[in-house]
A and B are shown apart, each in its own frame.
Chain A
Amino acid sequence: MAMASRRALKAVLIDLSGTLHIEDAAVPGAQEALARLRRAPVALKFVTNTTKECKRTLHERLRRLKFDIEEQEIFTSLTAARNLLEQKVVRPLLLVEDSALEDFAGIETSDPNAVVIGLAPDHFNYQMLNKAFRLILDGAPLIAIHKARYYKKKDGLALGPGPFVTGLEYATDTQATVVGKPVKTFFLEALRDLNCSPEEAVMIGDDARDDVGGAQNAGMLGILVKTGKYRAGDEGKINPPPHLTCESFPEAVDHILTHLLDTK
């Protein structure tokens, strides 16, 4: 059967938490599905919004779960922030947790003229926010890893970086540059070294808005998996709807192998 418009698929972007694994357990069949995808002629990248885990930590977890993944195939919101800092040639005040600092190794941070905000409860205090505020008022760009309102901890909800970013935006009458999903540039940056356009790529994730909506807004196809944070009806929350909604990562891989690749 001829499909309406088959694209030449060149790359697959894959979300990590909620898609390949849930905390310390792999999604059933995900390792084997990834191995099958590896045998197909597509480039892979693993993309995630993280504000506190550096790439090395993420990679170690994936290796423990027996996923065949290289560290340099991982692209995170921290990497995106680092790339932006390098592009702008600025010295950041880094309001991120110590565990994330590794991803900024080598970046000059003395005499800061930019502000980067991740999730950093230890840094979100009056003194530090005043310091960030004065820098921004003096013209330093405000870069937000993402703007999540809150997140779930074992002992309940906790404020994310979004509220603090919003407060600084209000006080300084500026807009932060957000670098994480669902921002379009995040997906374009992730694809940059893969030599393909967004129309030649597909994104698989469990977050309808941040993964699928964001990717489709950037010109890619989006596949929503019903694992992780997925809740019934999520696929109806974005417009246009996901290219495909399926049970889990292995099913998404099957779809790609049978419908999106030119297997002549």
Chain B
Amino acid sequence: MAEDGWTECVRSLKGVILDMCGVLYDSGAGGGAPIEGSVEAVKRLKASDLQLRFCTNETQATREKFVAKLRRMGFEIDVSEVFSPAPAVVSILKQRGLRPHLLVHDDVLPEFDGVEKSDPSCVVIGDAADNFSYQNMNSAFHVLIGQEKPTLFSMGRGRYYKETDGLKLDVGAYMKALEYACDIEAEVVGKPAPMFFQSVLNDMGVQPQEVLMIGDDLVNDVGGAQQCGMKGLQVRTGKYRPSDERHPTVTADGYVDNLAAAVETILKHRG
């Protein structure tokens, strides 16, 4: 395996951030299946002296449900180690005293239980799947167009993702629709927003150059992490496509076949 420049940073690493879907597991029927070697790789990282966090744009479930699913697959993961957009949005809403109108998946609603939602002053959208009906888009639009300065939070900005029964539009398409309708720009919460990565770094108490991000999404995982000063590694699993290695604007610090290979190399170079 070609080991390029990224291995040079391994000795000074203090932490690793892992993307989840496409790195740990592939989504699909019955919740999906672990990617070969990933359960063991997480175990090995946890046994090392490196700090480990997980960073996902998953907004179709609460963190608790999501982590429970991964634990059933065999992953040793704790809810407190997982960063996802919904809790991040909730803390922004509280900081700024905003009351959201929610256009999200039913299964993520409990994340917003403690948030005042009457007389909404902003809109929060996530990957709402079947809830992306014309009526619901129109309701979100009405809240926005009724504000003097419309505020739209989007949990991620992905274009699409793959499920066992085919490709599905992601939240980004619906975010763009509302942006166009109201002539505004959404505030993205989640990858690749720098604030989102920064909150993970703050939790670890480390500097960005001491952290390696590993993901299957070149732009949102790798590019987003690099923008924050971290190193970014792309795995050739999940939504990876060979053309990613010739991307016009984002070049990963390294490409590895899967998480197991990445962890093997990291631990070897730390000696």
Least Cβ–Cβ distance between B132 and chain A, in angstroms? 4
On whether the beta carbons of A150 and B132 are closer than 8 Å, the reply is: no
Whether a CB of chain A sits under 8 angstroms from the CB of B68 is no
Least Cβ–Cβ distance between A153 and chain B, in angstroms? 10
Least Cβ–Cβ distance between B146 and chain A, in angstroms? 9
Whether a CB of chain B sits under 8 angstroms from the CB of A259 is no
Alpha-carbon gap, A168 to B183, bound state (A): 17
On whether the beta carbons of A163 and B168 are closer than 8 Å, the reply is: no
On whether the beta carbons of A159 and B133 are closer than 8 Å, the reply is: no
Which of B132, B135, B142, B180 interacts with A166 by CB under 8 Å? B180
Of chain A, the residue at the smallest CB distance from B182 is A149
What mask results when residues 153 to 171 of chain B are scored 1 for a CB within 8 Å of chain A, else 0? 0000001100000111110
On whether the beta carbons of A159 and B173 are closer than 8 Å, the reply is: no
Contacting residues, chain A, for B173 (C-beta < 8 A): 129, 133, 167-168, 170-171
Whether a CB of chain A sits under 8 angstroms from the CB of B33 is no
Whether a CB of chain A sits under 8 angstroms from the CB of B137 is yes
What mask results when residues 159 to 175 of chain A are scored 1 for a CB within 8 Å of chain B, else 0? 11011101111111100
What mask results when residues 111 to 148 of chain A are scored 1 for a CB within 8 Å of chain B, else 0? 00000000001101111011001100100000000000
Least Cβ–Cβ distance between A81 and chain B, in angstroms? 20
Would you call the interface of chain A mostly helix, strand, loop, or mixed? Answer: helix
* Given A125-B133, A133-B160: A149 touches B180 (CB 8 Å cut-off): yes
Whether a CB of chain B sits under 8 angstroms from the CB of A233 is no
On whether the beta carbons of A159 and B134 are closer than 8 Å, the reply is: yes
Whether a CB of chain B sits under 8 angstroms from the CB of A236 is no
Q: Count of B residues near A, CB < 8 Å?
A: 32
Whether a CB of chain B sits under 8 angstroms from the CB of A40 is no
Q: Count of A residues near B, CB < 8 Å?
A: 29
Contact residues of B between 170 and 218, Cβ < 8 Å to A: 170, 172-183
Whether a CB of chain B sits under 8 angstroms from the CB of A157 is yes
Whether a CB of chain A sits under 8 angstroms from the CB of B138 is yes
* Given A124-B134, A159-B134: A171 touches B180 (CB 8 Å cut-off): no
What mask results when residues 112 to 154 of chain B are scored 1 for a CB within 8 Å of chain A, else 0? 0000000000000000111111110110011001000000000
Of chain B, the residue at the smallest CB distance from A129 is B169
* Given A121-B134, A126-B133, A163-B137: A157 touches B166 (CB 8 Å cut-off): no
30 contacts across the A-B interface (CB closer than 8 A): A121-B134, A121-B135, A122-B134, A124-B134, A124-B137, A125-B133, A125-B134, A126-B129, A126-B131, A126-B133, A127-B130, A129-B169, A130-B166, A130-B167, A133-B160, A149-B181, A149-B183, A150-B145, A157-B141, A159-B177, A160-B181, A163-B137, A163-B141, A166-B177, A167-B175, A167-B176, A170-B172, A170-B176, A171-B172, A171-B173
- The residues of A with any CB-CB pair to B shorter than 8 Å are 121-122, 124-127, 129-130, 133-134, 137, 149-150, 156-160, 162-164, 166-173
